[in-house]
A and B are shown apart, each in its own frame.
Chain A
Amino acid sequence: MNGTIIETKNLTKVYNGKIKAVSDLNLEIKEGEIYGLAGPNGAGKTTTINMLITRIAPTGGTATVGGFDIAKNSLAVRKLIGVVPQDFTADEDLTGRENLMMVSQFYDVPRAKAQENIRTLLKLVDLEEAADRYVRTYSGGMRKRLELIIGLVHEPRILFLDEPTLGLDVQTRMQMWNYVKEIQKRLNVTIILTSHYLEEIDELAARVSIIDHGKVLITGSPAELKTSLKGDIITITLSDQQSAELIKTIPDAVEVTDAGQNTVKIKVVNADDSLPAIINFISQHKLSTIKLTVVKPTLDEVFLEYTGRSIREEEGGMDRMKVAMNMRRARR
C-alpha cells in the first residue's frame, strides 16, 4: 500500500528552447498520501502537473505515474488519473449531473456504475440538490465542488488538484478542505495538491515539496519543515534604547537581531519554554515593555527561508485577473 506511485527523474520542460519552466525535478510520491507542491507563480508547479497528467510533453528527464511512463504510455496514465485543474472545465449549458455523466463516458464507465458513482460523489460534496440545474446557475464554491468530483467519476487512483481553493472565500475554503480530507479517507486516492495558500498545504498534505525556479528546494512533512527553521520568534519593543540593548544579553536565545526602533527579535528553540524566562528577565531588570509578540513558524516562514521571499508578494497580477474572470463566469 505504501509503494511509490509517482516518480520523476530529472524532469525538465524548456519552452521555446530557452525558458526553463521545470529543471531537473525529482519527486517521489507514495501511494495514498496527500502530497503538496508549494511555490510562487512561475515556480513550475502547474507545468510539472501538466507534464504528469500528459497534457504537455517533457523536454528532458522521465517520469512514471502508476508505473506508466508519461511520454511513452500517456493513454494508460490518463486512464489512471483524475484531474481538477485551476480553471473551471464544466460545460455551463449542461447540468451538473450531465457533466459528470459525460466525463464518465470518456472513461467508458458502464452507465449503471456511473450513475451510482455520481450519486455517491454528489452526496459527498453536498451537491445533490443542485445536480439537475444548469452549471451556469452555480456559485463559485459550487462550481469548485463540482470540478472536484468531475475529477473523481471514474474512480482514479491518483487525483491532481491544482489550486483547489483559488478565489474562494475563507469559509468555502475550509469547507473544501473537509471535502478533500473526506475524499482521501473514503476513496483512498493519492492526491497531488498545489497551492499558493501554505496553510492549505499545512492543513492537508502529509508531505510537501517547495519548488522555485523549476527545482525542488526542500521536501518533508509540514511539521519537519517548520522544525527545520529551528525556532520561534519573539519580538519585543521596549521603552528606550538602553533597555533594548540590555535584553539582547538574555540567555538561551538562538539568535538576536535588531528589528526597528527599540525593538529586538529573539529566536528561541521553543517559545513556550523561553517566554517565562524572558518575562522574569524583564521584571528583574525593571524594563518597561511596550509590545511583545510571539510567532510560531508557519509554512510561510519556511517558504521565506528557502526561497528568500514571501509567497504573498507573488500573488496578484494575472492570477487575480483569472480569479475574477472565473468568478464572473460562475455568477453569470
Chain B
Amino acid sequence: MSGLGPLTVRELKKWVRNPIFFVTNLIQPIFWIALFGSAFDITRFFPGASTSVLGGAPNYITYIVGGVLTTMGLFTAMFAGTQIIFDRRLGPMGRFLSSPIRRSSIVFSKIISSVVRIMPQVVILIVAAYLIPNGLKFVHGFTIIDVLVLATAIVLVAFIFSSIFSVIATRMTNMNSIFGIVNLVNLPLMFVSYAMFSPSMMAPWLANVAKYNPVSWSAEAIRMVIINGSLTASQWTQVGQWLGGLAILAGVLMLLTAILVEKEIRD
C-alpha cells in the first residue's frame, strides 16, 4: 500500500505522452555535447599544452563527457520538484493525501522517474559524443566496468539533486519560487565544479570550493574510467572515494527526504 509503483508509472506515462517534453529531453544531450564540446574547448586557448590540461585525454570531448553527463543529470533532477507543485495546484495532491499511501511515495515517485528519464539521455549523449567529428575516443577501451561506474555516478547525482529539490518543493506553493531557486544554483553548481575545466585551470579558491561539489566527484569518476580504461589500484581507490562520497550523500538525503516529507507534505 505504498503507492510508489502506480505513482511512478503515472510520472513516466506523462513524460512519454508529452511529445515536446519527451523529444526535447532526448535531443538535449546532442546539443549539449556538440555545443559545450566546442564552446569550452580549452585546448584552443592553450595550443600545444593539450594533454597536460586534459589529464591525458586525447581531446576535449573525451575530457568533458563525464562533466556533461553529470550536469545533464543535475539539470534534469533539479526539476523533479516542480511536478509536486503542479500536483498541489491542479488537484491530484488532495487525492494522494486522502489515500492510504505512504506520503514519501509521492516524492520518491518524482525522484525515481527523473532518474529513469536521465538514462536514455545518458545513452544518447555517449553515442552523440562518439559520432561527432573529433569526438569521444576510448583510447584504452570501454568495458562493462566503465559503464557501471558511469551509471552509478549519474544515478547517485540524480538522486542527490532530485531529493534536495523535491523537499524544497514540498514546502512551496508557487512555481516561480522553485524556478528561481533552480536558476540561482544551476550554473554555479556546474561551473564551480570540475565538470568543464580541470582544477589546474581554475582560480585556487574556486578549485578548493569545487572539491566539495558532488558534481565534481561524479565528473572526475567518469572521467577517470573513460580516459584510463583499466585502472590501477590507486586510481580505483580514488574512484571508490568519489562514488562512496556520492553514495553516502545520496543515502543521507533519501533518509532525510523520507522523514521530512512524511511529516511536512500538505496541500
A interface list, Cβ under 8 A from B:
53-55, 75, 78-79, 81, 83, 85, 87-94, 98, 101-103, 105-108, 150, 329
Contact yes or no, B6 A106, CB < 8 A: yes
Which range holds the interface residue count of chain B? 20 to 34
Contact yes or no, B100 A78, CB < 8 A: yes
> In the complex, which residues of chain A have a beta carbon less than 8 angstroms from the beta carbon of B5?
105
| Known contacts A93-B18, A102-B6; A107/B94 CB under 8 A | no
Contact of A53 among B1, B6, B98, B101 (CB under 8 A): B98
A-B pairs with beta carbons under 8 Å apart, 12 shown = A78-B98, A85-B94, A87-B91, A89-B91, A89-B92, A91-B14, A94-B14, A103-B95, A103-B99, A105-B3, A106-B1, A150-B95
| Known contacts A53-B98, A55-B97, A94-B13; A107/B1 CB under 8 A | yes
Contact of B100 among A91, A98, A102, A107 (CB under 8 A): A107
Contact yes or no, B100 A90, CB < 8 A: no
B1-26 interface with A by 8 A CB criterion: 1, 3, 5-7, 9-10, 13-14, 17-18
Contact yes or no, A83 B98, CB < 8 A: yes
> In the complex, which residues of chain B have a beta carbon less than 8 angstroms from the beta carbon of A79?
1, 100
Residue from the set A53, A75, A89, A103 with the largest chain B CB neighbour count within 10 Å? A89
Known: A81-B98, A102-B10; 10 extra A-B contacts, CB below 8 A, are A55-B97, A79-B100, A85-B94, A85-B98, A89-B94, A90-B95, A92-B90, A102-B6, A106-B1, A106-B6
Interface 1/0 per residue, B69-104 and A, CB below 8 Å: 000000000000000000000111111111111000
Q: How far is the CA of A107 from the CA of B2 in the complex (A)?
A: 9
What's the least CB distance linking B238 to chain A, in Å? Answer: 44
Contact yes or no, B99 A107, CB < 8 A: yes
What's the least CB distance linking B68 to chain A, in Å? Answer: 30
Contact yes or no, A106 B100, CB < 8 A: yes
What's the least CB distance linking B247 to chain A, in Å? Answer: 31
Q: How far is the CA of A107 from the CA of B92 in the complex (A)?
A: 16
Contact yes or no, A93 B17, CB < 8 A: yes
Residue from the set B7, B9, B92 with the largest chain A CB neighbour count within 10 Å? B92
Contact yes or no, B98 A93, CB < 8 A: no
Contact yes or no, A75 B100, CB < 8 A: yes
Contact yes or no, A87 B100, CB < 8 A: no
What's the least CB distance linking A224 to chain B, in Å? Answer: 32
> In the complex, which residues of chain B have a beta carbon less than 8 angstroms from the beta carbon of A54?
98
